[in-house]
Copies of this chain bind each other. A is one copy, B any other.
Amino acid sequence: MSAPRTARARVRAELTREIADAARRQLAESGAAGLSLRAVARELGMASSAVYRYFANRDELLTALIASAYDGIGAAAEAADAAVARGDHLGRWRAVGEAVRDWAQARPHEYALVYGSPVPGYAAPDSTVGPASRVVLALGANFADAARGGRLAPLAVPVSEPSGPLAAELAALLAGVPGGAEGVGAAAPDVVRRCLAAWTQLFGTVSFELFGQYAMVGHREEYVRHTLELTGVLLGLRAE
């Protein structure tokens, strides 16, 4: 992503972005399955075949949109987390949850693109795993901070700890989160499983709301807020 040196390279980068933008607009209207390279070309007033100079095929265009969606949702989560006092772990969780939820509500098709059914015959390339983990890493930092400060409440009911290779594997994941595993010690597998559970609950809730599974609940927004709070508390997060 260095600065384009020739005029040609500059206009190429610009056009690439314009195509992606038009595709995103069209995605918002018709969804992933309705995304048409020809329609994108029409909107930009160019021949459909010319688009193939910039994206080799539809999947490559989808990949660009997927990466940008992961980045957008990850940035929203990180910003929300950063805006809350470091020690208010429940507040940080709530903030990240609301941010993810609001982002999804504002861009349902982009959200569905990354957290809905995988596009058939399409495998996300490795370049998307980095952006894809930003949200869970933000959640993980919160849990790790709480554990480090001794402020992660013990699970109030007897639950078997993860054991054996699974425990080792979970503990190893902590090395990837900002702040790392220092100061967490033997609690690492427990901290990571709580984080993954929270992460799963968050996206399960957001998806269910967005995809219409909560049709039986009338006060949906209030319900979502309430259930996220419940999850955070049950998993040991506390306010300052």
Contacts and interface: CB of A to CB of B under 8 A. Distances in A.
A57 interface: no
Interface of A: 30-34, 109, 112-113, 115-121, 124, 129, 132-133, 153, 155-160, 162, 165-166, 169-170, 173, 176, 193, 196-197, 200-201, 203-205, 207-208, 211-213, 215-219, 222-223, 226-227, 229-231, 233-235
Contact of A166 (B176, B226, B233): B226
What is the count of identical protomers in the complex?
2
Contacts of A176: 216
A157 B216 CA distance: 28
A218 to B, nearest CB: 5
Nearest to A161: B226
B116 A165 contact: no
Contacts of A113: 117
A213 to B, nearest CB: 8
